[in-house]
Each structure stands twice: as C-alpha cells, then as structure tokens.
Structure 1
Amino acid sequence: MAHIESDPRYSFDTFVVGTTNRLAVAASRAVAQAPGSSYNPLFVYGASGLGKTHLLVAVGQLALKLHPGLRIRYVPLDEWVDELHAAVASARMDAFKTRYHEVDMLILDDVQFLAGRRETQSEMLRLFNFLHRGGCQIILASDRAPTEISDLDQRLLTRLSGGLIVDLDMPDYETRVAILQRKCEERDARFETGVIEAVARLGHGNVRELQGALTRLVAFQRLGEIAVTSRNVCDLLGAEASPEAPAPAASNEFGNFLSDISVAVAQHIESWRARLGEAVATWNERGYRTASLERALSGHDVPDVDVLLQSFAAAVARLQALERKAAASDPALARSEVFRNPDRLAEAEALAAGAPGVRRLPPQPEARFSRDTFETGSSNQFAIKAADAVVREPGRRYNPLYIHGSAGTGKSHLGHSIGSEMLASSGGAHTVAVLGADAFSQELITALQEGGSDTWRARYRSLDVLILDDVQNLTGKAGTQEEFFHLFNALFAEGKQIVLMSDRAPRALEGVEERLRSRFEGGLVVEIERPDQSLRERLYARALSTLGHEPNVDLVSYLAARTTATATEISEAVKQLVLHLGDVKELTVAAAQTVFGKPRESAGSGKPAHRVVTSRVTAIASEDGSFFLPTDKTIWEWPDVGGRLIEELR
C-alpha cells in the first residue's frame, strides 16, 4: 500500500510492550511525535513474525494523527522496485522521483531485498540522500541488521546505519502471556485458568505462530466443542517442543526510562468544516478528486459529515476495485484519470466492464467437488466446521486456513467446495481462484516468458479468495515462493481469504522459506485424518450408489472393515470390484468375497494378515554391472485379491 490507512489492528495501543521490544517501541513513538528531528533514519530489524510491520504502520498512523498535514508513504521494498521498473519502462522517471521527493515521511519495509540489486541500490541511495538532506523522516525495517544484508553498497550501508538501529526479539514469557490475554479479549475468548500460561510456555518461534496457536485453541473450543484445559493444550496443538520454563524477570531500569518518552497527546473535537477540510487534504494527497467534499465545504448548510465521508470512502474503494480489475487486463488502464474521481464512478464501471480480457479469471472451483457430496466423520469434522466458518465470514475468522492430511483424504474436494460456496454466497460477486502450487508456478513461468507478469500479478492481487492446493510443491521453487510471499501479504492486508492445502503440516514443510511457513502457522491449521470405520461405510455406500449398485448394510460393513483406505482408495476399490464382477446385478458379501476373500486374522492380533512371500531368487548381473531381480523368478502371494488391490492402490 502506498499510503497509511487507518487500521486499529496496527496501532501502538494494540502492540504489547515487553523487555525485548521496549527500545524499538519507544524510539518509534519518538519518531512519530517529532518526525525528522530525532533518530533519522530509524532502522528496525527482527525475525519474521515479531511485529515489524505492525510497528511501522503504528508509527505512520500516530504521526498522521499528531500531524494531519504530514505526507507519508509506506511501501514494501518489492513494491517500490516494481514502481521503479515501471517508471523506467514507460520513461516516467521524473514522475516517479517527484512522487517520492514530495513526502515528509518514508516508511520502507523488507529492505533486506536490496541484497544483490546494484542498480536498485544506486537509485535508493540517491533517494535517501535527497530526502535526508530535506529533513524527511526515514524509517526502515528488515529481517536482519544492515551489516548482515549481503552485497550492499558501502555508501548505502553507511546511510542505513547512520541513525538509530533497534531490534525486535522473541518476547519473553511474561510478554507472551500478555499478548495472548490481549488477543483473547479481542476475540471474546475465555479459557480456564492455566491455559494461556501453558501456551506461553511452548517454544513458538515468533508472535505470529503464538497467535496461530491461540487461533487453533479458540477454534477447537468453538467448532470442535472441546473443553480446552492446561492438561490437553500440548495434545491439541501437537506441540513438538518441550514446555519452556519462564525465565526470571530481569531488571530493566533503562527500558523503563525509555518507555517514559511516550507523551500523552490531548485529543480535541474538530468542527465539521475542519473535518471536511482534513478529508479533502488527505484524499487530494492520495491522488483523488474531491469536488463533492469541496462543494459541501463551501456550502452554508451543515451536512451529515459521517454519512458524507463514509459515502466518499466507499466510492473510492469501488474505484480501487475497478482499477484492479481493469489493470488485470491492461496495466495501462490503471493510470486512467477516471479511477481517481468518485464523481465519475459510472464511467469507471463502464471502462472496467468493457476492457478486453478483463474477465479472464484464474482457475475456478470445480462444481463436481460440492459440499453436499463431502461425507463428514470424526476424522474430518473439525476441518469442515472451520471451512464453514470461513465461508460465513471470509477473511475474518481463520485467515489463512491451512488444511493438511495424507493424499486421498479429501483436502482438494474440501478446497473446491469452499470456493464454490464462496461464489454462491456472494451471488457470484467474489473473485475466487482454486489451483495447485505447480499450476501457480507454471502460470508465473508463462507470464515471465510472455512478458505479461504485471498483468498476471494484478489478476491474482484482485482476488477475493485464493485457494492453493499442494502447498508442499512450493519446495525448491525460490521464484514462486517469492511471488507467493508478496501475493499472500497483499491479499492478507486487504482482508481477503486465503485457504491452503498440503499433505503435511507447516512445520514439516522442507525447502519452504521460514517467512512463508511462519505465515501459514499464523492462521488456523487443521488436519484431515484417514477415515474411521463409520466414515468408510458412508464412503463405500456413496461409491456403490454412484455406480448404480444398492449399498446393502452387510456389504458396506464387510468392505469398510477390511481397510483403513482413504476416500480416493475406496472409490477406486469399488470401481475395481464392479469391473471384476461384470454383469452381476446384485452385489452381496458373498459376491464381494469372490474378489476380496474372507478376512484372515493374524495370530493374536485380531487384524487381517497381509503377508508377502518371495521365492528363492537369484540376482542376475546386467550389462552395466548392476543387479536386478527377474520378475519371472519372483512370486508375490497375497491372502486374497482384495489385499493385492489395496497394495497396488497405495
């Protein structure tokens, strides 16, 4: 986002201060209160998920509140780089420089991405020098200290290190408890004594993961109707780390002294003219025409200011949505003046609707995977309740929603059904995409080959709902992970719903960057387990009915008792059964036993025995010197055909 928007989630009031972040918070408040006069630049660094972006936005909001005319730009570095490249490509460097030279406070996030970009560093150095000489306040954030950013121009390193450098560290036990208690208040969640403390003692890597753990417990209590206690916290969270004992609180007189820097600012009630005047100045600075507000300001009648400002903001929001849709087809349309004037909203609607290719959408949910055909059981009911909650309140309850489970358990089915329900509930107004990580990566490659990456990127950033399957396939694809990281941030910042599916939990993702894994952990993580006996019976019954056979109780019970197969394996097994029996009109247990045989119990175990026996085999040397086992000298013995079928389907 280019400008600071009012967002109560990211204020100093909602930032819990502890011993590990007190200096950073105190310095940030001082900068907001007196921009350009102290700590310039201010460089904040810390690992992913510790609150850097929260702190940056809080600085901007407080500075704007204390200094209403202040021109502030907040921009992640990748967006600044995109703007730079677009300016170079369109020969509009003068406009680009003017846009940034006119700011009073520049807030740059994720500056670690300057690493290795020599030409970008040169332009950043020129911008830095110009702003700093003019007294502009510069605030930067990174996941590492300036000296740890690799391949950084020495002159730029000197500039970045020339002010105050403060770090954010993982909060201590007491601060973690305070954070969890604050989040419980915000969500109106209540737990029995000891639960919050138990969560705080677990070794979570950052605040985002800590909040993700709380989200899961709230969901367990509300959706799963499970009483969360201090005794079952570890089991419910699947905590892989041993509880961390709280460290004794250290004396921090210097930190207490720094916290006294905060100065209480008295708020005053503005007249309606002052409010409108401030709104006109704010929207003009953001590039929007304000004729309707100016007419009200110059009139003699006292307008309903709240209604007027809300109506204007809604019109701007609609213009922004139309601009994104138009830009997905033709990036040049985004520069159209019509998208900057709320009085021309009808023209903007017509332009966006008539843009060639603007209706080209990312992959849509498949109708065959409906919610009605998804069988519910104890192994998946928690995931289904979470999915239903997401459909009711997209982007608000569980974002992101991360569903994991072994292949064939129904993750993809559930993901597509969520997408279909989202479309239906919005009357088709929502833009929904459902695709796999491999397809996402291939689309990116194609866009890069065709030189249409800007159009592709704009199309995905205009989504209302993104559902990405097979997240584990992001492994080893650095470019795709980079693109998805920025897409995730853009959608999340706008409150758009993100749903992810994988065959493993976030903490088990290998080859996926920590900053992404941390964001996955920050939402609600739910598992779909292999179906139990009851669910298998319903799955077998549905599969038989689909193929036109009566699912009598005895047959279904017989089939379900034989295996712990997944939904996919059950469907394939029934197809093979029907194919093997041919024209048999009525499937019975006896008929099925001609294919699968009678269950054989292993000695003392009470479970069917499936054994594999091989005959004596001679290893034969091939021409290249390797060895193999000839298939004609290998005998595979199953107790029945059904057992073999299950082995071949695994």
Structure 2
Amino acid sequence: MTTQLSPQLRFDGFVVGASNRLAATAARAVAESPGTGYNPLFIYARPGLGKTHLLMAIGHAAQVINPALSVEYVTLDDFVEAFHTAVGAGQGDTYRRRFAEADILLLDDVQFVAHRRETQAELLRLVDQMQTSGRQIVLASDRPPADIEAFDERLLRRVAGGLVIDIAAPDYETRVAILRRKAEERQVAFLPGVLEAVATLALESVRELVGALNRLVAFQSVGDAPLDAEQARLVLGVRTIASDVPDAGGPEPDATAVEEADASPGSTPAADEAPADEFGEFLSEVADTLTRQVEGWRRRVEEAVARWEGQGYRTARLKGLLARGVDGDPAEALSSFVSDVETLQAMQAEAAALAADLATDPVFRDPDAIPGAEAFLAKARDGGAPPPAPESVWVFEDLVESEGNRVALRSAREAASRPGEAYNPLVIVGGAGVGKTHLLHAIGNLLQAAPGAMVACLNAQDFTEELIEAMERERITAWRARYRRVNAFLLDDVQLLAQRERTQEELYLLYNHLVELGVQLVFTASGEPGEIEGFEERLASRMSGGLVVHLPAPEREVRQAVIERLLGARYDKADAELVSYLAGRPAESVRAVQALVQRIEAAADARHTEPDVALARELLEGAAPRAPRPAPGVRTSGVGA
C-alpha cells in the first residue's frame, strides 16, 4: 500500500531557486534531524511544482544519514483505501501501528481529506502519536490547510504548530536551470538560446516545462538539423503542451524476521536429606525430570503463541499442542509452524505487488489454511479474464508518414522500442477519425511482440463499464489486479472519463502504480488533457508529463495511400487518375476519406462499372453523366443484380 521512494527524486535532482528555496531548506532540515524541528512540516503548491519530489527527497536523505530509519510514503487516497480494507479484515490496530511507529511519515495529496471526518480523526490521532514519540510527519497538499474544505479545527491547529510553507511557480532563472538539468539528463544538446526561449513562455509548473522540453526533443530527433530558438517557439506554439514530472511509486511489502528462542534447561534438584529406598528415589527423579520437560516445552509453545498472535496470526495449531500435549521436544512442531508463517509472508508480499488491499486479506493470517491462501493468490494473479489486447489488424505498416504526423509516428515507434524509458506517458491528441485509435493499437502490437508481454489496450468507455461491473459483483480487487500485472497500458479516448470521478480515481491509482514499475502508458484524447472539461488536474498534469503529440487531419500523401489501399483491395488495379483526383480533395479525417471511397464504389456497383474519375466528378461536382462501360476487372461477391 505504501509507495517505494522513487530513486530519481532526491535533493541533488531538485533545482533550487527563489520560488522554492525556503521549502527546500526546511525539507533538508527535517531530513537531517527528523522530529526535532519542523514537526509537522506542511508543504503546499499547485500541481507540478515539486511537492512530491521534496517529500521523497526527505526520505532518501534521512535514510542516507541513518539507514536504520523507517520511512513510509503514501498518498492520502491509498491511505484511506487500505485503512478501510484493514478495518474490514479486523486488522485496524495493526494498520495504525504501522504508521505510528514509522520514524518518518510522508503523506501526499492531503487536500483529499476534505469532508472525510473519519479520515481526519485518524490523521489527528496519528499526528498526536508521532509528535508525542518524537517521530516526523510531513504533509503535502495543493492548497494551504486553511483552504481545505471542512478541515478539522484541531488538525488545523496541529499543522499550524509546525511549519506551513509554499512553493511558488519558478522564475525565469530557475526555469532555465531546470531545462538545462533535464536536457543534460536526456543527453540532448540544443543550440544556444533555445532553452532560454522556452523559459520565457507562460508555463506555470515544472511539469509543463518538462513536457515542452520533451516536445522539442521529439521534434529535433526527426529533423535534419538542431532546432533554433525561433523554430522552438514555432514547435511549441501558442498551445504549449503541459507536462509532468512523473511521480512514481510502488508498494514495498514488509518482511518479518522469524526467530525462535531456545528455552534454558532447568536446574537439577537437590537430593533429599532424608534417606529413602532406591526405587522410590528413582521414581521421584523420573517424575521431576518429566515435570521439567513438560514445563519447558509448554513455556516455549506459550511464548510462540503470544508472539505470533501479537503479529496477527492465528495460532490454533499451537494452542492444540498445549491442550493435548506432545511427546518429547516440540521443536519440530514449532519449526513447521514458523515455516508456514514464512510461506504466508511470501505470498502476502506477492499479493501486495498485485494490489495493496489484497495483502490485508485474513487468508494470509492463518498458517493452517495454506491451500486457501494459495488459491486466493492464484485467483489474484489471474485477475479474471486477461485484459483486452490490441487489435491485430491495426499495424504500423499501414500508417503513412507525412510532414504533419512525422513527430507522432516516430515518437510512437521510439516509445514502443524503449517502453517506459523514451516517452512515458505518450499522449496522442487529434480530432475524430484522424487515426488515433489505429496508432494506439499499432503501438500495442509492437509492444505485444516482446516475449511474455501482456498489453492492455481498450477504450475509456469500456474501462468505465468494467469498473462498474466489478463494483456490482464486489470484485474490485481482482479487477485492479487484472491491470496492475500488465507490461503496457493503452487507453483510447480518455476524454470520455470527464465527470466520472470514480473512474478517474481508479485510473490515477493505476497510473502511479504502473509508472513506478516502469510500465509504458499511452493515451489518446480529442484535446490536450489540461483542456478537457471535467478531467481532474492531477491526472491531466501527469498525462502531460511525458510527451503530447498531435495527429493532424490527413495530408495529401496520407489520403492518397488510404485511397490506393481501399481501391486496391477490391479492384485489380486502382485507377491512377481517380486516386489523384480523390486525394486532391480535402478531408478532415481518414474516416471521411474512407466514406468518400465507399460512396464512389457504391455508385460504380449500381451501374455495374468500374469507378473512374468521370464517375467521381459526376458525383462530387455534378458533372454530366457518361455512358456506362463494362468492368470485367471488378471482383464482386457473385450475387447477380
């Protein structure tokens, strides 16, 4: 449920400027002396300005100074979801202790605590416990605590008692420094003045800066010469693409060390001073020895029961030993029990990697029910039916490169050749029918070709319908696991998720999980994510953080290739004059080109002739009809008129 600290998000990768210097200084102070200075530390800023970066940098720096420190990073949504699951499984107290006993707790996206009274009560209890024990808590939000709706006054006072500090939008100098740092990390060189030109644009966040840089990298990679400053402005244009520095994360399961303490041998009783017969003395010694042995193994079993029950495991097997007794040393029985606990812990860790709430299921707490845990895990691995795969009919070979789509197509190939590394996520923007879906599935088929690859490729509407069905059947955990095990996730028409809050929340959680694992993400949309009304800013910001490319209306060479392919699939030879004529007519989409060809073909079929330019002119321009001629080369279905 907690997310592993991203190795990229450290202090040495955080560019400090006037807008964030105080926040960076306070964060370093907390990392160097957790629990002694600013506690709690509350950092707020608009999305994309580096809150998550600072939180994770604190965790990294603190563990470098003291590797023994336990650090937990978690978003509020994940915290709430896992807490409800733990309470339902009877593990609420164990869950609370986990965070209360952390040396540093990093809690992100705190603004979502608004109107959640139960969660605020838990957070208040947690803050009090951590402050009392000298443990550090750091919170991040997209707004100051006083602006969080229905925020508990007691919690507000606790936060105000520490340090509340903001991060502003970076100034020009900081923007230049950030762009230079990111270009250096990408090992890309630009001509003098290019990055400075980008820094002058009205970009409101670091994410937008990095997205603009990604666009320049993509355009420069397909050109014959480096971009200059003026070309860079033209590439970015008035609709400069918003971007994101991906927040990565992934679950980090706990591993519990399993130990057993050996009982110390009992002492030898003193001999009776009064004389007794030899046989009586022998019986007395035997009885004393048996008593010591029984007391020894009972003590060991009782200690084991107390220990494992304290960790939340069921101990019916050990209590059975106490009830019926054992012959000789119980070490073998205890060793077998410990071995089964270790097996459960290994399965629980695997379940946590699939979905955080799977790991809290009670099935992982009963060492006498290993088969049940194995069946549960197998079901979780399966996650129901495999996720929808890309359609095999849509391949890259059928796409025609033109000046307008060159960046989109080459960037798509690059993302498929280096999944999770080149451009992640890749967002393809364009109008209806321009080929977004074709390109999305073509990317999916390239990714699917890798050995053992599992690629999920589906429409946003289908994603929502699956979620609704999973909720109705109470199979939400299995549904999440279904997508969390993929090697690539491709979602078409994300604008259809507008106003669908629960689906967006699930996509947000899935996004963060997959990015942490380095899984390639590709989305298509009718407009840039930040411009889709009813689309959450946190999602839009992350989607824009890789590379946003545009697919324009099909240019002449694209239209010509589509027309040749359609006519060639039905007739022996496409009429070159007809192809040239039709390709010269403007069309807003590939779909419109297809409809145009179908209209010409239907007219030719009605006249039992082969389509030509004269027929096309007649239909499209109202030219005078000409006498029909036979079309021996037409391949028909064989059904007579």
- TM-score of Structure 1 vs Structure 2, range by shorter chain: 0.7 to 0.9
Q: Which amino acid aligns with 1:457?
A: R
Which one of 449, 455, 461 corresponds to residue 438 of structure 1?
Answer: 461
Name the CA distance, whole Å, in 1 between partners of 2:487 and 2:145.
36
Does the CA-based 8 Å contact 1:329-1:358 persist in structure 2? no
Does the CA-based 8 Å contact 1:328-1:358 persist in structure 2? no
- Which 10-residue stretch deviates more, 17-26 or 360-369? 360-369
Which one of 243, 249, 255 corresponds to residue 287 of structure 1?
Answer: 255
Question: What is residue 106 of structure 1 aligned with on the other side?
Answer: 105
Q: Which amino acid aligns with 1:362?
A: P
Does the CA-based 8 Å contact 2:563-2:594 persist in structure 1? yes
Q: Cα 1:59–1:381, aligned 2, differ >3 Å: closer, same or farther?
A: same
Q: Cα 1:10–1:229, aligned 2, differ >3 Å: closer, same or farther?
A: same
Name the CA distance, whole Å, in 2 between partners of 1:149 and 1:105.
23
SS in 1 for 2:72: strand
Question: What is residue 446 of structure 2 aligned with on the other side?
Answer: 421
Which one of 377, 398, 406 corresponds to residue 381 of structure 1?
Answer: 406
SS in 1 for 2:230: coil
Q: Which 5+ residue runs of structure 2 have no aligned equivalent?
A: 241-250, 260-345, 625-641
Q: Cα 1:4–1:329, aligned 2, differ >3 Å: closer, same or farther?
A: closer
Does the CA-based 8 Å contact 1:382-1:526 persist in structure 2? yes
Q: Cα 1:440–1:229, aligned 2, differ >3 Å: closer, same or farther?
A: same
1:233 aligns with 2:232: yes
Name the CA distance, whole Å, in 2 between partners of 1:6 and 1:508.
29
Can you list the C-alpha shifts for 1:406-461, whole angstroms capped at 9, x where unaligned? 1111000000111111111x22x233211222222222222222222232233323
Question: What is residue 207 of structure 2 aligned with on the other side?
Answer: 208
Question: What is residue 435 of structure 2 aligned with on the other side?
Answer: 410
Q: Shift of residue 488 of structure 1?
A: 2.0
Q: Which amino acid aligns with 1:481?
A: Q
Name the CA distance, whole Å, in 2 between partners of 1:43 and 1:330.
31
Name the CA distance, whole Å, in 1 between partners of 2:39 and 2:115.
25
SS in 1 for 2:34: coil
Aligned residues: 529
Q: Cα 1:226–1:415, aligned 2, differ >3 Å: closer, same or farther?
A: farther
Does the CA-based 8 Å contact 2:429-2:527 persist in structure 1? yes
1:397 aligns with 2:396: no
- Aligned 1:514-533 pairs, distance under 5 A: 514-533=537-556
Name the CA distance, whole Å, in 1 between partners of 2:481 and 2:381.
15
Can you list the C-alpha shifts for 1:146-195, whole angstroms capped at 9, x where unaligned? 11111011111111221011111101100100001111111111111111
Which one of 602, 612, 616 corresponds to residue 588 of structure 1?
Answer: 612
SS in 2 for 1:501: strand
Name the CA distance, whole Å, in 1 between partners of 2:235 and 2:252.
51
Q: Shift of residue 330 of structure 1?
A: 6.8
Question: What is residue 511 of structure 2 aligned with on the other side?
Answer: 488
Name the CA distance, whole Å, in 1 between partners of 2:158 and 2:356.
38
Name the CA distance, whole Å, in 2 between partners of 1:210 and 1:322.
37
Name the CA distance, whole Å, in 2 between partners of 1:555 and 1:546.
15
Name the CA distance, whole Å, in 2 between partners of 1:226 and 1:574.
39
Sequence identity (%):
42
Does the CA-based 8 Å contact 2:384-2:478 persist in structure 1? no
Q: Cα 1:331–1:63, aligned 2, differ >3 Å: closer, same or farther?
A: closer
Does the CA-based 8 Å contact 2:530-2:537 persist in structure 1? no
Give the TM-score normalised by the residue count of structure 2.
Answer: 0.76
SS in 2 for 1:49: coil
Q: Cα 1:335–1:42, aligned 2, differ >3 Å: closer, same or farther?
A: farther
- Aligned 1:560-639 pairs, distance under 5 A: 560-582=583-605, 584=608, 586-597=610-621
Does the CA-based 8 Å contact 2:222-2:406 persist in structure 1? no
Name the CA distance, whole Å, in 2 between partners of 1:423 and 1:159.
51
Name the CA distance, whole Å, in 1 between partners of 2:184 and 2:362.
41
Name the CA distance, whole Å, in 2 between partners of 1:6 and 1:150.
30
Does the CA-based 8 Å contact 2:384-2:479 persist in structure 1? no
Question: What is residue 165 of structure 2 aligned with on the other side?
Answer: 166
Q: Shift of residue 350 of structure 1?
A: 10
Q: Shift of residue 288 of structure 1?
A: 5.7
Q: Cα 1:491–1:356, aligned 2, differ >3 Å: closer, same or farther?
A: closer
Does the CA-based 8 Å contact 2:45-2:168 persist in structure 1? yes
- Which 10-residue stretch deviates more, 555-564 or 448-457? 448-457
Q: Which 5+ residue runs of structure 1 have no aligned equivalent?
A: 242-282, 292-317, 339-343, 601-650
Name the CA distance, whole Å, in 2 between partners of 1:440 and 1:186.
35
Question: What is residue 73 of structure 2 aligned with on the other side?
Answer: 74
Q: Shift of residue 354 of structure 1?
A: 6.9
Q: Cα 1:401–1:335, aligned 2, differ >3 Å: closer, same or farther?
A: farther
Name the CA distance, whole Å, in 2 between partners of 1:462 and 1:519.
21
Q: Which amino acid aligns with 1:159?
A: R
SS in 1 for 2:77: helix
- Aligned 1:49-128 pairs, distance under 5 A: 49-128=48-127
Name the CA distance, whole Å, in 2 between partners of 1:497 and 1:349.
30
SS in 2 for 1:498: strand
- Aligned 1:138-537 pairs, distance under 5 A: 138-225=137-224, 227-240=226-239, 286-287=254-255, 323=351, 336=364, 357-358=382-383, 360-424=385-449, 426-427=450-451, 429-537=452-560
Q: Cα 1:381–1:12, aligned 2, differ >3 Å: closer, same or farther?
A: same
Can you list the C-alpha shifts for 1:69-88, whole angstroms capped at 9, x where unaligned? 11111111111111110011
SS in 2 for 1:113: helix
Name the CA distance, whole Å, in 2 between partners of 1:508 and 1:414.
22
Q: Which amino acid aligns with 2:91?
A: R
Name the CA distance, whole Å, in 2 between partners of 1:153 and 1:523.
37
Name the CA distance, whole Å, in 1 between partners of 2:136 and 2:357.
37
Does the CA-based 8 Å contact 1:400-1:522 persist in structure 2? yes
Name the CA distance, whole Å, in 2 between partners of 1:352 and 1:431.
19
Q: Shift of residue 586 of structure 1?
A: 3.5
Q: Cα 1:599–1:420, aligned 2, differ >3 Å: closer, same or farther?
A: farther
Name the CA distance, whole Å, in 2 between partners of 1:144 and 1:97.
26
Greater length-normalized contact order (CA 8 Å, ≥ 6 residues apart) = 2
Name the CA distance, whole Å, in 1 between partners of 2:200 and 2:149.
35
- Which 10-residue stretch deviates more, 68-77 or 359-368? 359-368
- Which 10-residue stretch deviates more, 546-555 or 520-529? 546-555
Question: What is residue 31 of structure 2 aligned with on the other side?
Answer: 32
Which one of 575, 579, 599 corresponds to residue 556 of structure 1?
Answer: 579
Question: What is residue 605 of structure 1 aligned with on the other side?
Answer: none
Can you list the C-alpha shifts for 1:445-502, whole angstroms capped at 9, x where unaligned? 2222222223223332333211111122222222222322232222223322111111
Name the CA distance, whole Å, in 2 between partners of 1:558 and 1:200.
46
Question: What is residue 627 of structure 1 aligned with on the other side?
Answer: none
Does the CA-based 8 Å contact 1:324-1:459 persist in structure 2? no
Question: What is residue 279 of structure 1 aligned with on the other side?
Answer: none
Name the CA distance, whole Å, in 2 between partners of 1:47 and 1:115.
17
Q: Cα 1:4–1:501, aligned 2, differ >3 Å: closer, same or farther?
A: closer
Q: Which amino acid aligns with 2:254?
A: R
- Which 10-residue stretch deviates more, 556-565 or 109-118? 556-565
Q: Shift of residue 97 of structure 1?
A: 1.9
Can you list the C-alpha shifts for 1:244-295, whole angstroms capped at 9, x where unaligned? xxxxxxxxxxxxxxxxxxxxxxxxxxxxxxxxxxxxxxx999326699xxxx
SS in 1 for 2:561: helix
Q: Shift of residue 15 of structure 1?
A: 0.3
Does the CA-based 8 Å contact 2:383-2:481 persist in structure 1? no
Name the CA distance, whole Å, in 1 between partners of 2:76 and 2:510.
14
SS in 1 for 2:166: strand
Can you list the C-alpha shifts for 1:24-45, whole angstroms capped at 9, x where unaligned? 1111111111111111111111
Q: Cα 1:328–1:361, aligned 2, differ >3 Å: closer, same or farther?
A: farther
